[in-house]
Structure 1
Amino acid sequence: MRVVALADTHLPLRARALPEEVQEAVAGADVVVHAGDWVEAAALDDLLGRSALLLACWGNNDGEELRARLPEVARAVLGGVRVEVVHETGGKDGRERRCDEAHPGADVLVFGHSHIPWDTTTPRGLRLLNPGSPTDRRRMPRCTYLTATAADGALADVVLHDLPLRTAGRRRV
């Protein structure tokens, strides 16, 4: 399964739409994972219309409508890989221990909130992935998203994609 992982899209606050490169990746994916902070339900509806399968949760910036439609923690088996998705995992110090305790049934945990890409493995073998944000780089040099392949019970080909910097004074569309 071809997987695209996103988080913290903040649409339409940070951009009018997902960057074209991300839209193309979504169109070619078997599943899109989104770790919250959509901001408006229209962003969820747009991604639902573009993706074959969506595994997603709500984030701290998502209001009642999104919280009514999405779980706090999303779970699925993708290509034999037990994937969980949550928006927040707390600060980076102690993250591996906290996630091992909070997500004992997962092989991979995709999370967001910080806008900072993250790829580590906990002591028990849980893979922690944060795709960053495709629309709001904050303290990072670039906006980002992740792609991977889930097959035969393993996650492979995990790639963090840097998006081009936008032209000064223009929003990426």
Structure 2
Amino acid sequence: MRLLITSDTHLPKRAKELPAPLLAELPRADVVVHAGDWVDTATLDLLESRSRRLVGVYGNNDGPALRARLPEVAYADLGGLRLGVVHETGAAKGREARCAARFPDLDVLVFGHSHIPWDTTAATGLRLLNPGSPTDRRRQPYRTYMTGTVADGRLGNVELHRLPPR
């Protein structure tokens, strides 16, 4: 099972459209994961219409229309892999322990908000992933998103894709 993982698209505030490399991944993905801050419903509509399966949440910049359609926290069983998605996890310091305590039954937690790519594993084995942002690099050198695979209930082949700065 192939995953496309993104967050913080902020359309149309930060960019007019999703980057072509990310859009090219859609037909290859079995599951698209979006960790919030869509900003517009058009992006949600686009990903829903082009995805086999979408797992997404709303973020702090998402208004009532998106909050009506998306949960604050999403859970999915992906072939035995227990995935959770949330927008905010708080400060980087102590994140692994804090998230492991909050989500003890997950294998992987995808989050967003900071626009800073993140890939760590808590002492409990919980893997934390932040794909950064494909549209707004903020203070990062690149705009980013992630892909990965799920096989036999395990996450593998996680890759951070770097897009050129604008």
Alignment TM class, shorter chain as reference: over 0.9
Instruction: Say yes or no: does 1:155 pair with 2:155.
Output: yes
Instruction: Say yes or no: does 1:146 pair with 2:146.
Output: yes
- Greater Cα shift, 9-18 or 110-119: 9-18
Q: State the match for 2:56 in structure 1.
A: 56
Give the distance between the partners of 1:94 and 1:105, measured in 2 at CA.
19
Task: Write the deviation string for residues 132-157 of structure 1: whole angstroms up to 9, x where unpaired.
Answer: 00000001000000000011010000
Instruction: Say yes or no: does 1:13 pair with 2:13.
Output: yes
Q: State the match for 1:23 in structure 2.
A: 23
Give the distance between the partners of 1:88 and 1:165, measured in 2 at CA.
24
5+ residue gaps in structure 2?
none
Give the distance between the partners of 2:80 and 2:162, measured in 1 at CA.
28
Matches within 5 A, 1:36-51: 36-51=36-51
Q: Which amino acid aligns with 2:109?
A: L
Give the distance between the partners of 1:133 and 1:70, measured in 2 at CA.
19
TM-score for the superposition, normalised by structure 2: 0.98
Matches within 5 A, 1:64-143: 64-143=64-143
Q: In percent, how many aligned pairs have the same letter?
A: 63
Q: State the match for 1:171 in structure 2.
A: none
Q: Which amino acid aligns with 1:135?
A: T
Give the distance between the partners of 1:70 and 1:30, measured in 2 at CA.
19
Q: Moved runs in structure 1, 4+ residues, more than 6 A?
A: none
Give the distance between the partners of 1:116 and 1:27, measured in 2 at CA.
26
Q: Which amino acid aligns with 1:57?
A: V
Please report the RMSD computed on the Cα atoms of aligned residues, expressed in angstroms. Answer: 0.7
- Report the number of matched residues: 166
Give the distance between the partners of 2:123 and 2:165, measured in 1 at CA.
36
Q: Is the 8 A contact 2:137 2:165 kept in 1?
A: no
Report the alpha carbon displacement of residue 84 of structure 1 after superposing the two structures with TM.
0.1
Give the distance between the partners of 1:155 and 1:138, measured in 2 at CA.
28
- Greater Cα shift, 128-137 or 39-48: 39-48
Q: Which amino acid aligns with 1:93?
A: K
Report the alpha carbon displacement of residue 61 of structure 1 after superposing the two structures with TM.
0.2
Give the distance between the partners of 1:144 and 1:165, measured in 2 at CA.
10
Give the distance between the partners of 1:79 and 1:33, measured in 2 at CA.
15
